[in-house]
Structures are given as structure tokens and as C-alpha cells.
Amino acid sequence: MIRQQLAWFDPARIGHSGQCFRFAPLPEGGGWGLTARGRRLCIRPDGDGFLFDCTPEEWETVWYPYFDLDTDYEAFAAAVNPRDAYMTAAVACAAGVRILRQDPWETTVAFILSQQSNIPRITRNLEAVCRAYGAPFADREGNIWYDIPTPAALAAASEEELRALGLGYRAPYLRAAAARIAAGQPDLASLAAMPYKKAHAALLTLPGVGVKVADCVCLFGLHKLDAFPIDTHIRQMLDAHYKRGFPMRRYKGFAGVLQQYAFYYELYGGKT
DNA sequence: TCTGGACCTCG
DNA sequence: GAGGTCCAG
């Protein structure tokens, strides 16, 4: 168990932000639990800081990088045009949200499942897939959790089995994409080293992955902060507030972070 | 290149 | 109808 005081870190907002789907309130309340990188982590508020139930070594090598704590998000917030009332409000609403360094394969699975869906359902579907095909592991208290299935494990599943989990027409997409990744076409590990546009183009070749999903994988799984996924919420936001176009030049290098803040603001703006 | 309809469930 | 993709025309 370790304690940390962290700038720009709000687990509740991160958990609701729609970038990750295995990040949920603890049943006893007051904290958050997440499954990632083949591990389980609990986060509990503690005064002006947080308690993390991991070793200092795990913190340094796994969770500190996962939460992208080396990146200065306050600097991104400060770079927002003060005359842009909409983005100023969005950033204030989403303060504390970071772009997690999630696994590219996990984000590929999650966002293939995300089409024509919503956060509660994506969460349910992803959990079902992990329980059915993922490797179980125990936390330090002996509770069993399930990792994201390997590409090979999902490729070996039948469409019928996947449909039985409630995936609907996404089942054949997921299965086919898993087969492609298992064959190394494309090799997800090598995408991280590519520039955003090349990585995006490679992801577009996957079945069930269009422009929007590829951008989500780029932003959330490959940490390409230039990626700017446009879904219906962001589309409406752009039409309403940026009729002359979003200032991509001004925000080059981190436009995707602001996209995430706008997205959060669109979803929860009235209620936080 | 661009537009429209189908697609599985479920809140 | 939904935080989208695919295929036909």
C-alpha cells in the first residue's frame, strides 16, 4: 500500500471518461478498482492524496506510467485560448482526466465493441469477453480477475459463441480482427513507434475498425495525442461551437486531450 | 469520392 | 434510436 499526492488526477472522472471500461467504483464505495496490464489495482481517497494497493516497485514500473504521470496536463489546460469559452468550461469540467497508457490490443477490442453502443453496455460486453476467453489471475487477497484474452484466443472463438455473449453483429468483426492481429497484420507493437497517420492507416485495415475506432485506438491505446476521434457527441459539439473548424494548429500535439475534455463535458457537463 | 440502408441488443 | 462500419449503388 502506498500513498501519493498527485496533480491533475481524478480517478472518478477518469473512470467515467469513456476511454477505459475496466475501471469501476469499489462495491464498498469511496474508491475505484481497475483491471489492466494483467493486474488489479484499488485506489482509495486519503485526505489530499490517494492510497494505491501496490508495492513501490509496481507503482514505479506499472501504474505511474499507466496513469501517464510524467505528462503535464495542466500545461495543456493552460494553453487553451482564454477567449474560447466553450473549451475553457470543458477543461474545468474534466479537470483531473488523463489519457491512460492502455494496451493497444485491449483498446482495439473495446472500441470494436463500442460501435452503436454506450459505456454501460461496452463495459458489460468487454467483461463478458474477458471472463469467457481471458486468463484468470488472483489479486493479493485471492480474488480472481480476468485478463484481456489474447488475439489467438479470440480468433479461436466461434461467431456463435461471441454472439451468445451479447456482442451482436460486432462478433464477426472482433473474431476477424483478432485473427489478423494474431497473424501480425498489423503488428500492434510496431504501431506505437509509427507516426499517428501511419498507425491510423494500418488500423483502418482491420475489420470492424473505421475512422472513429482507429482514432480511439490511436489516442487511448497508442498514446497519439494528435488523434481526434469524432463521434456523434463530438460532431454535435463541433457543429455548435466550432463552425469555422476546430483550431487543430493551435493545439497541435495534444488536440486529442482537448477532444477528451469536450467529450466528458458533453456527457456530464450539466451534472458534475 | 459520396450517400443510404442494414446490422444485434438494449436502456 | 444508439459514442459506427460495411457494402452496394
| Nearest partner of A100 among A209, A194, A44, A21, judged by Cα | A21
Residues in chain A: 272
User: Under CATH, which architecture does the A2-70 domain have?
Assistant: 2-Layer Sandwich (3.30)
Q: What is the pLDDT of residue A24?
A: 93
SS3 A24: strand
Q: What is the pLDDT of residue A270?
A: 65
The pTM score is 0.97
Nearest nucleotide by C1' position to the A17 CA atom: C3
Distance A82 CA to C6 C1' (A): 42
Report d(CA A164, CA A173) in Å as an integer.
Answer: 15
Share of chain A above pLDDT 70, in %: 99
What are the extents of the domains in chain A? 2-70, 104-222
Q: What is the pLDDT of residue A269?
A: 87
Strand C–CB A118 distance below 7 A: yes
Total Cβ atoms within 10 A of residue A191 = 20
Compute the average pLDDT of residues A186-193: 96
Compute the average pLDDT of residues A162-176: 96
Distance A17 CA to B6 C1' (A): 30
Measured from Cα to the C1' atom, the residue closest to C3 is A231
Compute the average pLDDT of residues A24-52: 95
φ/ψ bin of A153: left (φ > 0), alpha (ψ from -120 to 50), beta (otherwise): alpha
Q: Which of A 168-187 have CB under 7 A of nucleic chain B? A: 168-170
Q: What is the pLDDT of residue A21?
A: 96
Nearest nucleotide by C1' position to the A168 CA atom: B8
Report d(CA A17, CA A14) in Å as an integer.
Answer: 5
Q: How many degrees, rounded to 5, is the angle at CA A109 between CA A105 and CA A19?
A: 90
C-alpha A45, offset from chain centre? 22
Strand C–CB A269 distance below 7 A: no
Measured from Cα to the C1' atom, the residue closest to B6 is A169
Which class does domain A104-222 fall in? mainly alpha
Residue reference for cell 463495459: A123
Strand C–CB A232 distance below 7 A: yes
Please, which positions of strand C sit below 7 A from a protein CB?
A: 2-6
Distance A162 CA to B9 C1' (A): 13
Which residues, 6+ apart, have CB-to-CB distance to A77 below 8 Å?
A8, A91, A95
The catalytic site residues of A sit at 212
HSE-CB for A3 with a 13 A CA cutoff? 5
Own/partner pairs, A87-93, CB within 8 angstroms, 24+ separation: A87/A258, A87/A261, A87/A262, A89/A265, A89/A269, A90/A258, A90/A261, A90/A262, A90/A264, A90/A265, A90/A269, A91/A258, A91/A261, A93/A261, A93/A264, A93/A265, A93/A268, A93/A269, A93/A272
Mean pLDDT, chain A, as a whole number? 96
Measured from Cα to the C1' atom, the residue closest to C6 is A208
Distance A263 CA to B2 C1' (A): 27
A137 grid coordinates:
489471475
Measured from Cα to the C1' atom, the residue closest to B7 is A169
Compute the average pLDDT of residues A47-67: 97
Q: Is the pLDDT of residue A127 over 60?
A: yes
Q: Which of A 112-151 have CB under 7 A of nucleic chain B? A: 116, 118, 120-121
Share of chain A above pLDDT 90, in %: 96
Q: Is the pLDDT of residue A272 over 60?
A: no
Nearest nucleotide by C1' position to the A232 CA atom: C3
Q: Which residue type, as a one-letter code, is found at position A151?
A: P
Strand C–CB A201 distance below 7 A: no
Compute the average pLDDT of residues A237-243: 93
